[in-house]
């Protein structure tokens, strides 16, 4: 991955949310317990599901803490050729969508920018460097539904 | 009943006959010769002889009437003694001969009754023998079938043997076995003791007829013979079935497995005025149990085979297991937004290697590669035999780049492990890497992609990593 904004903070999302007083320690424990019980699932999505945080809280936290820019995806139209850079499987599984391409860099909106494997896969498929924007999961899913038919 | 011969007139008749044939003619002639001193004319003597002859003849006739019945009775007695009880002679004498004749008739009647009784006993004994024989044959057949089932014979052979044996239990019997077709829910003719007649191979017991309901849901058998024909023919579907089977009598018996009718055994014949016995039903019941055991055994064997997870030769997982597991891992990967990689390692030129060095060396190579793959994989990875010359690896949470790196590393280790071998025995491997989500969203798609990489490669693949 050749991005300049590679992750340098190693704190986990839950801890950052507690620091930012968006959730309490007990709420995090409850969400982690549910994650363990399901043996799967993303902590951010579980916190949203339990009503302890909003998608925007998660996206903003990730944006401010890790320095990823936030993209309110609902306000943008995406070129179909750009969407075609990635197969729908990849977009759906990693909850991301390509939104632009500038020379050898593809710009993507992703709900979890910490998913480095996903970013690597995007690089592998497109053959381009990746620039990351954060969006909420629901905005990305709507966009996927809209553009991948 | 007094059968003793009382003295009636035979003695008197015998005396009269004796007198008439000897004494009276002699006395008469003596009287003529000795007491007629006067000249006796020639005519007178002739007349006297004639009278004497007539007297003697009447005596002879009387004697004949006595002797002939004795001869008849004697013949009759001889005939009875020789076993001809139907020999009849009408003797109307009221003397001892008549009594003897009556006694002989009674004796004859008694003998005839006894013979009839013996015939009855003989028939019953024959029936008992035949029943015993049938049971012995059944038991012997059941033993043979039992040992055939336990020898892991194929289901087709077992059911074929059962049908053949059950058809031999009674003369002129024919046997057929219908198996439930799970797709159509109809019973389809699959096995017959004789080769299928034309048109019979597509014979089916159709769904939703009364006969189907009776066999499928009520699990009741149907016995069609001269006793029950009129009642049974009223059941919808039965007349058609009998016509199609081309039999007059039949037992239609449902074979129930785990509360569901899975097959139907039909025993039939075309004998006139025929009735099945309780024993026949019992024998059919025993054979149907064997059929149920055979079907269940086959089902369990297949199920056990399906549940096998490991390859016998190498000890790693088998193809079925890895396919199922890959699907599960992909589902997990989708939920956790993680990748999942799949690699097929193919041993280069292994067919040639096998031809040169034999199966024993092949097995050693396979075991060695399996060991290297296991040693180099993580706890969460799965290694499987995937075809004759191939292995597959399931690598959860590895993306394409990571999987390619892994494949490269393992390929190098395998190749280097064979470096010390003779030149011809130096094994190389090639790998094809596919990944979820890039190459597919299901196990089939990932496997197809990886296999396609080998199949679509333009140049000869040797010691390469394909992606």
pLDDT for position B199: 65
Q: Is the pLDDT of residue A41 over 50?
A: yes
CB B221 within 8 A of CB B254: yes
- Angstrom CA distances, B97 to B11, B84, B164, B186, B459, stand at 11, 20, 65, 80, 122
Range in B167-171, B351-355, B440-444 the model is least confident about: B167-171
- Per the CB < 8 A criterion, the answer to whether A91 and A97 are in contact is yes
Identify the closest residue of chain B to A125 by CA–CA distance: B438
What pLDDT shows up at residue B196?
A: 63
* Cβ contact B337–A118 (<8 Å): yes
Overall average pLDDT of the B19-24 stretch? 86
Q: What's the pLDDT tens digit per position in B229-256?
A: 888 877 877 888 788 878 888 888 999 8
Distance CA B4, CA B186 (A): 79
Of B332, B334, B438, the CB nearest to A124: B438
Asked if residue B95 lies in contact with residue B13, where contact means CB atoms within 8 angstroms, the answer is yes
Contacting residues of B for A118, CB less than 8 Å apart: 337, 339, 399
Task: Count the helix, strand and coil residues of chain B and give each as a percent rounded to the nearest 5.
Answer: 55, 15, 30
Tokens 């030129």 found at: B349
Contacts of A120 in chain B (CB under 8 A): 399-402
Q: Give me the pLDDT at residue A2, please.
A: 44
CA B32-B35-B36 angle, 5° bins: 65
Grade residue B29 by pLDDT with cuts at 50, 70 and 90: confident
Q: In the prediction, which pLDDT does B146 show? A: 87
Interchain proximity B438–A87, CB inside 8 Å: yes
Distances B195 to B156, B267, B390 between C-alpha atoms, Å: 14, 15, 44
Q: Find which of B328, B437, B442 to mutate to test the A interface (most A CBs within 10 Å of its CB).
A: B437
Region of poorest pLDDT, from B34-38, B335-339, B343-347: B34-38
Dihedral sign (CA A17, A19, A20, A22): positive
Strand B429-436: give its sheet, edge to edge: B382-385, B390-396, B340-347, B429-436, B465-466
Residue with tokens 């087709």, as numbered in its chain = B156
Which of B332, B339, B441 is closest, CB to CB, to A117?
A: B339
pLDDT at residue B92, as a whole number: 67
CA distance B393 to B196: 49
The predicted structure's pLDDT at residue A42: 79
Q: Listing from the earlier edge strand, what are the strands of the sheet with A105-110?
A: A96-102, A105-110, A129-134
- CB contact A36 to B (< 8 Å): no
A21 strand-pairing partners = none
Burial of residue B78 (CB within 10 Å: 0-12, 13-18, 19+) is exposed
pLDDT of residue A143: 93
How far apart are the two ends of chain A, measured CA to CA in Å?
Answer: 29
Neighbours of B159 (CB within 10 A): 22
Query: Any CB–CB contact under 8 A between B399 and chain A?
Result: yes
Distance CA B150, CA B396 (A): 42
Instruction: Tokens for B358, please give them.
Output: 């034999």
Share of chain B above pLDDT 90, in %: 28
Tokens of B215: 């066999």
**B396 reaches A (C-beta below 8 A):** no
Per-residue tokens: B214: 């009776």
Instruction: Mark yes or no for CB contact B336/A115 under 8 Å.
Output: no
Chain A residue with the nearest C-alpha to that of B435: A121
Instruction: Quote the DSSP letter at residue B392.
Output: E
**How far A94 CA sits from the closest chain B CA (Å)?**
5
Say whether residue A117 is in contact with chain B using an 8 A CB cutoff: yes
Residues of B in contact with A92 (CB under 8 A): 334, 437
* ipTM associated with this complex: 0.82
Q: What is the pLDDT of residue B88?
A: 65
Instruction: Give Rg (Cα) of chain B.
Output: 50
Average pLDDT in the A29-35 region? Answer: 90
Convert the pLDDT of each residue in B112-154 to its tens digit. 898 899 999 999 999 889 888 888 888 888 888 888 888 878 8
Mean of pLDDT values over A41-50: 85
Report residue A144's pLDDT band, with 50, 70 and 90 as the boundaries: very high
Q: Which of B93-97, B344-348, B409-413, B453-457 has the lowest mean pLDDT?
A: B93-97
pLDDT at B2 over 60: no
DSSP-derived 3-state class of residue B116: helix
Closest CA to A140 of A55, A34, A82: A55
């Amino acid at each position: 991955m050749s991005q300049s904004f590679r992750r340098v903070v190693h704190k986990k999302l839950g801890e950052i949310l507690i620091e930012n007083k968006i959730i309490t320690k007990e709420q995090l424990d409850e969400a982690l317990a549910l994650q363990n019980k399901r043996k799967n699932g993303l902590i951010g999505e579980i916190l949203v599901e339990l009503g302890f945080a909003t998608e925007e809280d998660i996206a903003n936290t990730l944006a401010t803490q890790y320095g990823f820019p936030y993209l309110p995806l609902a306000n943008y139209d995406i070129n179909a050729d750009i969407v075609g850079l990635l197969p729908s499987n990849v977009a759906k599984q990693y909850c991301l969508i390509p939104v632009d391409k500038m020379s050898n860099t593809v710009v993507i909106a992703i709900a979890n920018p910490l998913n480095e494997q996903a970013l690597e896969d995007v690089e592998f498929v497109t053959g381009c460097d990746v620039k990351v924007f954060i969006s909420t999961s629901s905005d990305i899913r709507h966009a996927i539904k809209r553009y991948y038919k | 009943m007094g059968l003793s011969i009382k003295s009636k007139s035979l003695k008197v008749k015998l005396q009269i006959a004796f007198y008439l044939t000897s004494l009276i003619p002699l006395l008469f002639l003596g009287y003529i010769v000795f007491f007629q001193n006067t000249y006796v004319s020639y005519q007178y003597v002739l007349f006297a002889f004639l009278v004497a002859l007539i007297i003697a003849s009447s005596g002879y006739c009387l004697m004949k009437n006595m002797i002939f019945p004795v001869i008849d009775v004697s013949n009759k007695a001889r005939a009875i003694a020789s076993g001809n009880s139907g020999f009849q002679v009408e003797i109307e004498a009221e003397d001892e001969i008549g009594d003897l004749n009556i006694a002989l008739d009674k004796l004859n009647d008694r003998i005839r009754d006894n013979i009839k009784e013996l015939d009855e006993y003989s028939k019953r004994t024959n029936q008992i023998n035949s029943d015993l024989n049938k049971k012995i044959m059944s038991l012997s057949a059941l033993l043979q079938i039992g040992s055939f089932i336990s020898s892991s014979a194929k289901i087709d052979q077992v059911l074929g043997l059962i049908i053949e044996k059950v058809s031999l239990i009674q003369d002129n019997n024919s046997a057929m076995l219908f198996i439930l077709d799970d797709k159509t829910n109809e019973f389809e003719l699959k096995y017959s003791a004789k080769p299928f007649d034309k048109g019979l191979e597509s014979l089916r017991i159709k769904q939703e007829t009364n006969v189907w309901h009776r066999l499928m849901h009520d699990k009741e058998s149907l016995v069609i013979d001269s006793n029950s024909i009129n009642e049974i023919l009223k059941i919808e579907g039965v007349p058609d079935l009998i016509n199609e089977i081309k039999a007059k009598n039949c037992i239609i018996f449902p074979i129930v497995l785990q509360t569901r009718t899975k097959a139907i055994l039909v025993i039939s014949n075309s004998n006139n005025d025929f009735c099945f016995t309780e024993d026949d039903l019992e024998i059919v019941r025993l054979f149907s149990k064997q059929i149920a055991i055979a079907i269940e055994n086959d089902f369990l064997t297949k199920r056990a085979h399906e549940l096998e997870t490991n390859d016998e030769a190498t000890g790693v997982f088998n193809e079925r297991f890895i396919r199922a597991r890959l699907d599960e891992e992909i589902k997990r990967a989708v939920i956790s937004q993680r990748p999942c990689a799949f690699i097929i390692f193919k041993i280069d030129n292994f067919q040639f290697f096998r031809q040169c060095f034999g199966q024993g060396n092949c097995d050693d190579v396979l075991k060695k590669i399996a060991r290297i793959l296991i040693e180099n994989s993580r706890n969460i990875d799965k290694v499987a035999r995937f075809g004759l010359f191939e292995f597959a690896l399931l690598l959860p949470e590895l993306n394409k780049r990571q999987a390619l790196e892994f494949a490269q590393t393992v390929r190098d280790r395998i190749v280097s492990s064979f470096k010390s071998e003779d030149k011809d025995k130096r094994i190389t491997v090639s790998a094809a890497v596919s990944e979820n989500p890039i190459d597919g969203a299901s196990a089939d798609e990932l496997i197809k992609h990886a296999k396609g990489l080998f199949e679509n490669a333009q140049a000869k693949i040797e010691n390469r990593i394909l992606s």
